[in-house]
């Protein structure tokens, strides 16, 4: 395929459409969280601003949207190539934070948060961006983008394995799943040979088999979540409670929803636990209906396809893999979260990007967008010029 230097996306630029769509999602999230926390006894005859300010989580989420602008700006202070050269520092800090968090107390059965007074910080969220940067740099160590030997293969696996094991020890299975998706996506798009992918897949299956048998034998709550996913009617008042109630709530919304501020909705009756975090999509489905859900999905589709298009027009391997890494992270988050809300994926603690309540997740997602914008604004076109120079030579040989 011939690559045109005249294509605007192939040249350095700040991609405003991606940034605007991302903040549209973030503001959509503020609205959804406000709806989830709406108190019908206070009445709906107030401005949207007053409704947001009266909803504690909605007000806090709006504050995090503003903070995320700082994160996006911060990601523009250094070029992505400079950030890539700092990968050893990023990697060491990442591993240290993941190790230190294991010394904290468990929250919901997971040692995954540092707590500062009434606020929490989840280092595993930051670790996703660190993994994208360090692994993308490692995979472009060789210009031919192929794995020359087993030693290099182990070098690649080390970048993933150490932080992944620390996350498993928390244990945060949802984040570990995101790590695996980022890892496989970067390997595939970097030109990794399929034999290595099959080898890793076989090793992963072999390692997980005894874990599954252990969970089944101990009747662990994670095993019960798998059973609930396979057979939601098995325990509708226990392990299947959230799945069953989420599907009922979404289905009750109909084509146009029951209304954001309507009284007596399942959302405002807290029919689905954690409906402002992990199950925020049930709020959208019931109150804004199929139409509101499609608007949300259309925004996600635009952001994902925009990043895929930007990656296609980025001819620096390191920059291209960064975009692919951020795209795969967001894509899996969306698929898994919405999937568990409608019963086609098992329940995990994975939030819906930009929409679920949570400052760390929102700021990290926006930092990921900022990193993509950094690539588009500073990308190197050496590969593009090299390919353009080769095209006349190839045409001469054909003649």
Q: Are 366 and 355 in contact (CB under 8 A)?
A: no
* pLDDT value for 303: 97
* pLDDT value for 309: 94
pLDDT band at 239 (very low <50, low <70, confident <90, very high): low
* pLDDT value for 236: 61
pLDDT band at 345 (very low <50, low <70, confident <90, very high): confident
Q: Answer whether residue 276 shows pLDDT above 60.
A: yes
| Overall average pLDDT of the 318-333 stretch | 95
DSSP label at residue 102: G
Q: Answer whether residue 346 shows pLDDT above 50.
A: yes
* pLDDT value for 234: 66
Q: Which pTM was predicted?
A: 0.87
pLDDT tens digits along 56-89? 889 999 999 999 999 999 999 889 999 999 999 9
Determine how many CB atoms are found less than 10 A away from the CB of residue 392.
9
d(CA 161, CA 156): 9
* Nearest C-alpha neighbor of 104 from the set 161, 159, 166: 166
pLDDT tens digits along 106-160? 877 788 888 877 778 888 889 999 999 999 998 887 655 555 567 777 888 888 8
Q: Answer whether residue 232 shows pLDDT above 50.
A: yes
Average pLDDT, the chain: 83
SS3 category, 11: coil
Sort 165 into a burial class: Cβ within 10 Å, 0-12 / 13-18 / 19+: exposed
Question: Structural domain boundaries of the chain?
Answer: 27-379
Cis omega before residue 17 (within 30°)?
no
Q: Are 100 and 68 in contact (CB under 8 A)?
A: no
Q: Which two tokens stand for residue 286?
A: 């019931």
| Overall average pLDDT of the 387-398 stretch | 46
């Amino acid at each position: 395929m011939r690559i045109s230097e005249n294509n605007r996306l192939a040249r350095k630029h700040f991609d405003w459409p991606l940034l605007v769509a991302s903040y549209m999602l973030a503001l959509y999230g503020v609205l959804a969280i406000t709806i989830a926390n709406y108190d019908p006894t206070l009445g709906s005859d107030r401005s949207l601003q007053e409704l947001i300010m009266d909803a504690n989580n909605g007000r806090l989420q709006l504050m995090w949207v503003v903070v995320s602008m700082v994160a996006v700006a911060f990601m523009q202070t250094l070029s992505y190539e400079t950030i890539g050269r700092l990968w050893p520092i990023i990697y060491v800090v990442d591993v240290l934070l993941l190790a230190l968090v294991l010394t904290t107390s468990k929250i919901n059965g997971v040692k995954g948060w540092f707590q500062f007074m009434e606020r929490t910080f989840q280092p595993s969220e930051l670790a996703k961006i660190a993994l994208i940067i360090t692994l993308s740099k490692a995979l472009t160590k060789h210009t031919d983008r192929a794995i020359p030997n087993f030693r290099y293969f182990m070098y690649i696996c080390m970048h993933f394995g150490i932080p992944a094991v620390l996350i498993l020890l928390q244990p945060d299975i949802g984040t570990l799943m995101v790590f695996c998706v980022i890892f496989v996506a970067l390997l595939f798009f970097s030109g990794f040979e399929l034999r290595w992918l099959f080898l890793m897949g076989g090793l992963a299956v072999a390692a997980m088999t005894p874990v599954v048998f252990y969970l089944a034998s101990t009747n662990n709550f994670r095993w019960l979540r798998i059973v609930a996913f396979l057979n939601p009617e098995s325990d509708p008042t226990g392990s299947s409670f959230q799945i069953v109630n989420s599907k009922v709530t979404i289905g009750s919304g109909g084509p146009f929803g029951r209304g954001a501020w309507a009284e007596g909705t399942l959302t405002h009756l807290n029919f689905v636990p954690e409906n402002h975090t992990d199950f925020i999509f049930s709020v959208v489905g019931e109150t804004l209906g199929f139409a509101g859900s499609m608007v949300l999905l259309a925004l996600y589709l635009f952001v994902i396809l925009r990043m895929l298009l930007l990656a296609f027009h980025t001819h620096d391997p390191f920059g291209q893999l960064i975009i692919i890494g951020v795209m795969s992270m967001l894509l899996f988050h969306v698929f898994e979260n919405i999937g568990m809300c409608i019963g086609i994926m098992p329940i995990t603690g994975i939030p819906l990007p930009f929409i679920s309540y949570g400052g760390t997740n929102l700021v990290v997602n926006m930092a990921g967008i900022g990193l993509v914008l950094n690539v588009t604004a500073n990308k190197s076109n050496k590969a593009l010029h090299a390919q353009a120079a080769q095209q006349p030579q190839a045409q001469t040989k054909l003649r």
